[in-house]
Amino acid sequence: MLSILLIPALNDNYIYLLHESDGGETAVVDPAVSSPVLDVLQQQGWQLDYIFNTHHHSDHVGANLQLKQLTGCKIIGAAADKARIPGIDMEVKEGDFIQLGNHSFQIMDTPGHTLGHIVYYCADSQALFCGDTLFSLGCGRLFEGSAEQMWHSLQKLKTLPAETRVYCAHEYTAANGRFALSVDPDNSRLRQRIAQVAELRQQNLPTLPSTIGLELATNPFFRGHDASIRRNIGTTEQTDVAVFSKLRLIKDQFQ
């Protein structure tokens, strides 16, 4: 069995601690800071074996070296970005698989937010750790990659089973929901989701994980084919990539 613990960090980051009970192996996904990770490890009585990095930004790799020094863990990251992943031990790329005990994680290259971004997909646990590529009701900004690259990356994630749980790295759902509603106002499922999010945030609870099925129904960056969204942003005759590019541009300027 794979246990997944959500650890809030910084202002809106989520760090994920994964523990495989049969073999007793433990990994942490995108550790921004070390202290909350070390606290939970001590509380649970777990030894850290691996760090899974999705990309090089400091709020995802900030604790790499300290955790490695204190625990002797191995750091896994993108081969394409090895120069920017502190302490990297194992380089992975599209199509590779890594093991955490009895659980296998498929690596997917998802450039767009950064050029070397990867995600980790565990089919048997129906879990996707997607960093800043996919957010609940949104997607990552294009800091290094192109709109076409990010669009192709999102297409990979759209094909995952609908029940796949989406563990993204930030609590952006409420803000993303306001934008989503501005371009998809007639989506009743989206309105329902936004109401659920508001209730959770009022209780200071996380809105994650989402699911691929829920994102297919409510995330405008998954729904650029939708005729109403296209009409609302004035792109009825354009390609899917062009629609995505305009959505991303509008979102970047959204207040």
Rg (C-alpha) for the chain, rounded Å, is 18
Does the annotation mark 57 as catalytic? yes
**Which of 30, 49, 59, 81 is flagged as catalytic?**
59
Read off the tokens for 81.
Answer: 């970005």
* DSSP 8-state secondary structure symbol assigned to residue 170: B
Q: Is 59 annotated as a binding residue?
A: yes
Residue 55 labelled as part of a binding site: yes
Q: Which one is catalytic: 19, 103, 113, 117?
A: 113
Query: Is 60 noted as a catalytic residue in this protein?
Result: yes
- The closest of 74, 90, 101, 166 to 129, measured between CA atoms, is 166
Determine if residue 132 is labeled as part of a ligand binding site. Answer: yes
Catalytic, 55? Answer yes
Residue of 55, 56, 103, 117 with catalytic role: 55
**Beta strand pairing status for 90-92 and 74-78?**
parallel
Alpha carbon separation from 47 to 21, 70, 119, 134 (Å, rounded): 12, 10, 23, 29
Q: Which of 60, 109, 117, 184 is catalytic?
A: 60
Q: Which two tokens stand for residue 5?
A: 């613990």
For residue 177, the one-letter residue type is: G
Confirm or deny that 103 is annotated as ligand binding: no
Determine if residue 170 is labeled as part of a ligand binding site: yes
Pairing relationship of beta strands 210-211 and 25-29 according to DSSP bridges: unpaired
Binding-site residues for Zn(2+) sit at: 55, 57, 59-60, 113, 132, 170
Binding-site residues sit at: 55, 57, 59-60, 113, 132, 170
By annotation, the residues acting in catalysis are 55, 57, 59-60, 113, 132, 170
